[in-house]
Amino acid sequence: MAKVKPFIIGTRNAGEFLHAGAKVLSNGGSAIDAVEASTKLVEANPKDDSVGYGGVPNLLGKVELDASIMDGKTLKTGAVGAVKSYMHVISIARMVMEKTPHVMLVGNGAELFAKSMGFKKQNLLTKESKAAYQSFLTKYANLPKEGEKPWYVNYDVDFGLRGWYDKLTDKQHGTVNIMAIDKNSDICSGVSTSGTAFKFPGRLGDSPIIGAGNYCDNRFGAAACTGRGELAIRLSLARTILSYMENGMTVREACARGMKDINELGEKGGMNCLAMDNKGNTMSASTSRENTHWYMDVDSKAAEQRKGIYIPE
């Protein structure tokens, strides 16, 4: 197979940050370094309210982050979930992949690991994410009167967990997906998010679940997801999209089919995917909107916006 010119792609919120990864690739660096470099910039961007610093808090007002990274050459992968107080969860996930015999660490264990790897603790709440939480409390939470149980103990009783979730969280979430192929034709995909808004503490979405929110394999390509994570988990969506490609579909057909599978669940909550094959074709798709993604290769001067496909119900 002819070699593909190294390139990097990302979801809508990654456009201005792909330069960092493209630079890694044009200096002859690896897809893993490229994906990590660009993802870290998104994580550090306080204006992105669903990833890293300034991410949307959980039900108790704490930012809790999920991330995963996968190496398409070895199928090694690392993931972390429900991590508080560490911004660069993509790098912690990479350390899980490279330094431990494990694939996934969550909560306190992931934080202990981050600390032992030398990551620095920091506050992840910005003025804006605090304000978002305050407005959530004001609008939706029944604050306890004296002697009452805290409102979140009754959370599913008071609001009906499912209805509450459907009503509140549809628009308040987001994730960054970034994937790249390097000069050795090695592919890497990375995903990072603060998950769904005001989620129950400890809730993991699709992003840290390998096969659900993220998957790559040098033999075929890569796929990753954003949107209502529970749905992607139920369909093992990223791996499924890759399997469609493995079984002969184009990237476009595989993305469209993945979104159709989501629609067939008949559930509330949108889903989006980003995918590439190992020949250089890229695509994104969504069940809820016109979709776009960003592309840069080693000769690009600027990120190019590429149109995806909309697969409504």
Phi, psi torsion values for 77, nearest 5 degrees: -155, 155
Phi, psi for 10 (deg, rounded to 5) = -155, 165
Rounded to a whole number of angstroms, the minimum distance from the CB of residue 227 to ligand ASP is: 5
CA distances 297 to 8, 40, 137, 245, 307, Å, are 6, 19, 44, 22, 17
- Rank residues 207 and 240 by Cβ distance to ligand ASP and give the closer one: 207
116 Cβ partners below 8 Å, 6+ apart? none
Listed ranges 130-138, 200-208, 248-256, 304-312: which one lies at the site for ligand ASP (CB under 6 A): 200-208
Query: Which one of 131-139, 201-209, 243-251, 297-305 is the stretch in contact with ligand ASP (CB under 6 A)?
Result: 201-209
d(CA 221, CA 216): 6
Site for ligand ASP (CB under 6 A): how many residues? Answer: 13
- Show contacts with ligand ASP in window 208-237 (CB under 6 A): 213, 226-227, 229
- The residues in 75-114 that bind ligand ASP, with binding defined as CB under 6 A, are none
Minimum distance from residue 202 beta carbon to ligand ASP (Å): 12
Q: Give yes or no: 100 in active site.
A: no
- Which of positions 168-187 make contact with ligand ASP (CB under 6 A)? 173-175
List helix spans (H) across the chain: 18-26, 31-44, 89-99, 107-116, 127-140, 155-159, 161-169, 229-235, 237-246, 251-265
Point out which residues pair with 8 in neighbouring strands.
180, 296
Least Å distance between CB 123 and ligand ASP? 21
The radius of gyration of the chain from alpha carbons, rounded to an integer in Å, stands at 19
Residue bearing tokens 């959370």: 155
d(CA 265, CA 209): 19
* CB of residue 221 to ligand ASP, shortest distance in Å: 20
Residue type at 137 in one-letter notation: L
195 scored as a contact of ligand ASP (CB under 6 A): yes
Question: Considering the complex, what minimum distance in angstroms separates the CB of residue 174 from ligand ASP?
Answer: 5
d(CA 192, CA 270): 18
Q: Is-contact 18 39, C-beta < 8 A?
A: no
The one catalytic residue among 175, 193, 196, 226: 175
Q: Mark residues 118-157: x for contact with ligand ASP by CB under 6 A, - for none.
A: ----------------------------------------
Residue whose CB is less far from ligand ASP, 106 or 298: 106
Site string for ligand ASP, 6-35 (x = CB under 6 A): ------------------------------
Q: Which spans of this chain sit near ligand ASP (rule: CB under 6 A)?
A: 173-175, 193, 195-196, 205-207, 213, 226-227, 229
Residue numbers annotated as active site = 175
